[in-house]
A = this chain, B = another copy of it.
C-alpha cells in the first residue's frame, strides 16, 4: 500500500459504469443487446471538450490505468509510469479516459456476467468480439461522455491495435493515434502461441466447455499455463538473461522437479498470482480478438489501402528487443501511413525488456511520448 500517494499520481480514483441499452451488432454477426462498460477518468475535460485522451488496454489489463482505488491498494494502475500529473500523458492538461473492454472480466460485460436471457453467466454463449467491435463500443462511450473528438487515442500492444482501428473507423473523431509495440496483424507464430494457451485452458477438466461457473470451479491449471507462456513472450531472451541468467534458486542443484532456476520461480509466481483474478473465458476471447485483428483483410491484405481512410497524425513506437511484436511490424504500420502522406513519427526505442517495455519506466521512451503529447496538448490549447 502507498504510505503516501506520490505527488505525480492521479491519486485515489473511483471507476464508473456506463450502461448501454442500444444493441451492438458485432463483426461476427452476433448481437449484444445490453452491456456495461466500466471506466475511469483522470484530469478535467475542458469546456471545449477537446482535451480528451482515450487509453486502450492490452490482453490482460483493464480500465485501471493510473492511481489507486484506496489507500490499501498495493499497486497503482498498470500505466502509472505514463499517466499522471506532469507525466507523458499529463493529467493536468488532458482528460484521460480508459474502459475495460467488452468481454473483459473487470466490470464490463463479459463471459462471466449474467446473461439476462438465461439468468446465468454467459460462459461460451458470450459472442466473439473484435477490435472493431471494441472501437464501436468505445465510440458509444465517447458519445455518452460528450466527447466528439479525442485529442488522442493511445495504446500499447493490443491497445495500439485499437488506436489503429479508431483511425480507420472514425477518422474524424481523433486528432492523434499513438500506437506502441503493436503489429498490423499477428504472425503465424503469434497465433500458434495463442492456440497453445487456448488449448491449455480448454482441455483443463475444470473448463466444462466454458460453463465452469455452474460447477463452482475454474480451469486454473490451464489458465496458469497460458499465463506462464504469455510471460515468456512478453520478455526478451536478453531480459531473461539479465533478470535471471541461469541462476539457481538455491546454491546447489537439487536434481528434482521443484524450482531449480530463478526463472522457474518467476513464472510460477506470475501464474499463481494471475489465477483467481482473471476469467479464463475472457482470456480465450481476447486471444481470439488478437488472432482476428487484420484491418487490411477486406482490402486485399493491403495495409496502405485501408490506412487511406485515416486522417489522424500518428506516433508509432517499438522496442528493439520486442520479439512478440518486433520493430519490423511497427515499420509496416509506419510505411502504410507514410504511403498515404499522413503525419507519422516513429521511434524505435533501444530497450532490453522485450514486449513488456511498453509498460516500463524507460526515460527515452517516456520522453518521446511526452514530447509528442505535449504538441498534441498545445494543438487543443491544453
14 A–B pairs (Cβ distance < 8 Å), ordered by A: A28-B255, A188-B240, A188-B243, A189-B263, A191-B263, A195-B268, A196-B267, A200-B200, A203-B225, A205-B221, A253-B292, A255-B288, A255-B292, A261-B291
Task: Enumerate chain B residues within 8 angstroms of A253, measured Cβ to Cβ.
Answer: 292
Task: Tell me if A257 and B202 are in contact (CB < 8 A).
Answer: yes
Chain A 240-278, CB within 8 Å of chain B: the 1/0 string? 110111100000010111001111100110010000000
Judge whether A195 and B267 touch: CB under 8 Å. Answer: yes
Q: Nearest chain-B residue to A29 (Cβ)?
A: B255
A5 located at the interface, meaning its Cβ lies under 8 Å from any Cβ of chain B in the complex: no
Q: Digit string of A202-245 for contact with B (CB within 8 Å is 1, else 0)?
A: 11110000000000000001001100110110010100110111
Contact of A185 with B by CB under 8 A: yes
Q: Are A255 and B128 in contact (CB under 8 A)?
A: yes
- Which residues of the partner chain B approach A199 to less than 8 Å between Cβ atoms? 224-225, 228, 267-268, 271
A322 within 8 A of B: no
Q: A221: which of B188, B204, B244 is its contact (CB, 8 Å)?
A: B204
Nearest-Cβ distance from residue A225 to partner chain B, whole angstroms? 5
Minimum CB–CB distance from A131 to chain B (whole Å) comes to 13
- Tell me the minimal C-beta distance from A272 to chain B in angstroms: 11
Interface check A71, CB cutoff 8 A: no
Number of copies: 2
Cα distance, A86 to B236, chains bound together (Å): 43
Whole-angstrom CA separation of A232 from B246 in the bound complex = 22
Q: Which label, helix, strand, loop or mixed, suits the secondary structure of the A interface?
A: helix
Given A203-B225, A224-B203, check contact A257 B198 (CB 8 Å). Answer: yes
- The CB with the most chain B CB atoms within 10 A, among A28, A186, A235, A257, is that of A257
The smallest C-beta distance from A286 to any residue of chain B, in angstroms, reads: 13
**What's the Cα separation between A63 and B115 when bound, in Å?**
56
Query: Which positions in A face B, CB cutoff 8 Å?
Result: 27-30, 127-128, 185-189, 191-193, 195-196, 198-200, 202-205, 221, 224-225, 228-229, 231-232, 235, 237, 240-241, 243-246, 253, 255-257, 260-264, 267-268, 271, 284, 288, 291-292, 294
Given contacts A189-B232, A196-B225, 8 further A-B contacts (CB under 8 A): A187-B246, A188-B244, A188-B261, A189-B241, A195-B228, A199-B225, A203-B221, A255-B292
Quick check: A228 and B191 within 8 Å, CB to CB?
A: no
The 8 A-B residue pairs whose C-beta atoms are closest, nearest first, are A28-B255, A188-B240, A128-B255, A203-B221, A189-B237, A188-B263, A188-B244, A195-B264
Residue of A127, A193, A261, A284 ringed by the most chain B CB atoms within 10 A: A261
Q: In this complex, what residue of B is CB-closest to A229?
A: B196
Q: Which residues of B contact A27 (CB under 8 A)?
A: 255
Report the minimal beta-carbon distance from A261 to chain B, rounded to whole angstroms.
Answer: 5
Residue among A127, A192, A203, A263 with the highest chain B CB neighbour number at 10 A? A192
Q: Which of A30, A191, A245 has the most CB of B within 10 A?
A: A191
Q: Are A241 and B188 in contact (CB under 8 A)?
A: yes
Give the most central of A188, A203, A288, A292: most B CB within 10 Å. A188
Chain B neighbourhood of A260, CB < 8 A: 291
Do B246 and A192 have beta carbons less than 8 Å apart?
A: no
Q: How far is the CA of A28 from the CA of B255 in the complex (A)?
A: 6
Chain B's nearest CB lies how many Å from the CB of A178? Answer: 26
Partner of A237, one of B128, B187, B263, B267: B187
B257–A185 touching, CB < 8 Å: no
